[in-house]
Amino acid sequence: MSKDNTSEAGASPKDIPDPKGAGTVGGPDRKARVRDAAAKAGRKRRGRGILGGVLSAAVLLAGGAGVVAASAMLPAAPGSRAVEAGLTDVPAGRNTMVCPGPAVLPDGAATGTDAQFSPVSRTARTMLDALVLSDASGSLPDSKVAALDGSNSKVVSQAPEKKPAPAPGPPVLTGAAVSQSTNRTMMLDAEPTEEQQAATAAVGSYSASDGDLRGLAAAQCQQPSNDFWVLGANTTVGRTALLNLSNASGTPATVNLELFGSKGRIQSPGSRGLLVPPGSSRTINLAGLAPQEEHLSLHVRSSGGPVAATVQQSVLRGLTPGGVEHLAPGAPPAETQVMTGVEIQDAKALRELASQDGFSDAVPALEITVPGAVDAIVDVKLFGPNGQRALPGGGAVTVKAGSVTELPLSGVPGGTYTVSVTADVPVAAAARTVRGLKPGSPGEFAWSPAAVRLGSQHLLAVPQDGWRFLSFGVPEGRATVTYTPVTVDGKTGKASTVDIAGGTTAVVDIQAPAKGPAVAGYIVSASGDPAYGALIVGRNGEPGVSVIGIQQGALGHEKVAVTLGY
């Protein structure tokens, strides 16, 4: 384990969820009843709202009549007038991104194990691939990669001493990239250029072809936040979930966790007041907070300094590794969630695999969490390259308030899909992808977090090894997505465009060029109806797979409303 981590080891589909559990799924009749119930509830709520509004209006009119009459007879105070809140520019700040650290075994994992099957990998490697983009004039910002405490610093780009004059014609973007191995939790720091926040992206990836943690784990490096969600954790037998909290700021962070399981909220005294000092990271074994939870979602909130977090999830079925992954935060709870890059293997082979003891989680699935106090009525749709595919159990599901429900996504033809979730209350969601169909052979899995809508100039860094695909999904309407490569020597290549019909998924092969500089990343933009994207990466000759979400684009200068008063 690296020096900037401290470890706290805690206490040691094939069927559709049961109606008495976290959620229920039904066929057409059930779906119709769910929608009728939703419509009836809506009418009741609207009726109550109208009645309450009429009564409130009557009271306000009765009480306000005298006030209006009195105010009409009194002169206005000298100089009194309504002043609207003005908008004030907020200077662009430093852009910091924290990357997932090396995958580690929990404390005590190396003791008492089979001598012929070492849990320690001899081929494990952790890589950092970072990319920084210039502004419209071609000027790069000051940027560097370093450990959380500032050590092991390496310059990625340097700002020019004098900003060049704008050149005629369209903007010329340049980049700077770095790819290096590491054994620590790293961060990418970039200073603003003029009034614009620097455009940066980075990916942290782990790979191993032996040991208990055999597989591939990759995730986008993230901007620290005070509030986010992570889904997909599992603390049952043979599953290990380690929460890694990192504080790259100069202020101590106090972290509180809200834990949600299939039976509701999980109360754990050790989930609150977790201190993460400045420039450090902390690792917590989630089995000590929520043991034997097959479906575990985390709401992470911090006061003081913002934090970045991933959950290192691994599976070991007896002596056979079942994969490893970095679970990353997705979009916050909303009434619409979209995940793309969801790979589904052969339906028959998946059924046979899921029937084996200990392989119930070796199938593609969707996890939905309801954070509020009202049950969610959810409609799930699956879109492939050829359009929508019907789920065998139907797309209607009711998820109990404060709980997690898993909906199997198997039973459709193999391919890459986009999953759309719509609900009558805000929900959080993520989708699981699996690789490997033989019970006695190593398997692998990945989680696709809820994506953000694509807009203008999203920067995406890509790992240099293995195979890579871009997946774009458009639930409704039509959208055009443009992706432009940025090579390791900082040059931007020719832009490519894909036109995507609503209700479909487009998959783009972005294998390394046969000659010339390697691709360090892509600039992705979209126009038209809402579009969503992800990067799917894997290893040649291995079942390893990871799905990397495309993050928000770089922010320009922001404005906030400022109200003067006392």
Strands 415-435 and 365-369: antiparallel
Q: Whole-angstrom Cα distance, residue 24 to residue 400?
A: 9
pLDDT, position 331 = 96
Domain limits of the chain?
Answer: 7-29+93-562
**CB–CB of 394/388 below 8 Å?**
no
**CB–CB of 383/391 below 8 Å?**
no
pLDDT less than 70: residues of the chain: 1-92, 108-119, 166-167, 554-566
DSSP 286: G
pLDDT, position 238 = 94
Q: Whole-angstrom Cα distance, residue 1 to residue 96?
A: 23
Q: What share of the chain is helix, strand, coil (3-state, %, to 5)?
A: 10, 45, 45
pLDDT, position 204 = 96
Buried b (16+ CB within 10 A) or exposed e, 45-62: eeeeeeeeeeeeeeeeee
Please give, one letter per residue, the 3-state secondary structure of 165-214.
Answer: CCCCCCCCCCEEEEEEECCCCEEEEECCECCECCEEEEEEEEEECCCCCC
Q: Whole-angstrom Cα distance, residue 563 to residue 318?
A: 62
If we measure between CA atoms, which residue out of 197, 154, 194, 161 comes closest to residue 176? 154
Distances (CA, A) of 114 to 107, 120, 396, 397, 441: 17, 12, 46, 43, 18
pLDDT, position 89 = 56
pLDDT, position 543 = 82
Amino acid present at 467: W
Amino acid present at 292: Q
Neighbours of 12 (CB within 10 A): 10
**CB–CB of 545/463 below 8 Å?**
no
Q: Whole-angstrom Cα distance, residue 68 to residue 61?
A: 10
Tokens of 107: 């404390």
**pLDDT tens digits, residue range 111-137?**
434 433 456 788 999 999 999 999 888
Query: Using CB atoms within 10 A of its CB, is residue 560 exposed (0-12), middle (13-18) or buried (19+)?
Result: exposed
**CB–CB of 478/528 below 8 Å?**
yes
**CB–CB of 469/460 below 8 Å?**
no
Buried b (16+ CB within 10 A) or exposed e, 287-320: bbbbeebebbbbbbbbebbbbbbbbbbbbbbeeb
Neighbours of 519 (CB within 10 A): 20
**CB–CB of 231/330 below 8 Å?**
yes
Please give, one letter per residue, the 3-state secondary structure of 376-418.
Answer: EEEEEEEEECCEEECCCCCCEEEECCCCEEEEECCCCCCEEEE
Tokens of 154: 């390496």
**pLDDT tens digits, residue range 241-274?**
999 999 999 999 999 999 999 999 999 989 999 9
**pLDDT tens digits, residue range 165-188?**
766 777 788 999 999 999 999 999
Distances (CA, A) of 346 to 9, 13, 16, 87, 466: 38, 15, 19, 55, 23
pLDDT, position 171 = 75
**Which helix (DSSP H) or strand (DSSP E) does residue 43 occupy?**
helix 28-73
The sign of the CA dihedral 210, 214, 219, 224 is negative
**pLDDT tens digits, residue range 433-461?**
998 878 778 889 999 999 999 999 999 99
Q: Whole-angstrom Cα distance, residue 550 to residue 78?
A: 55
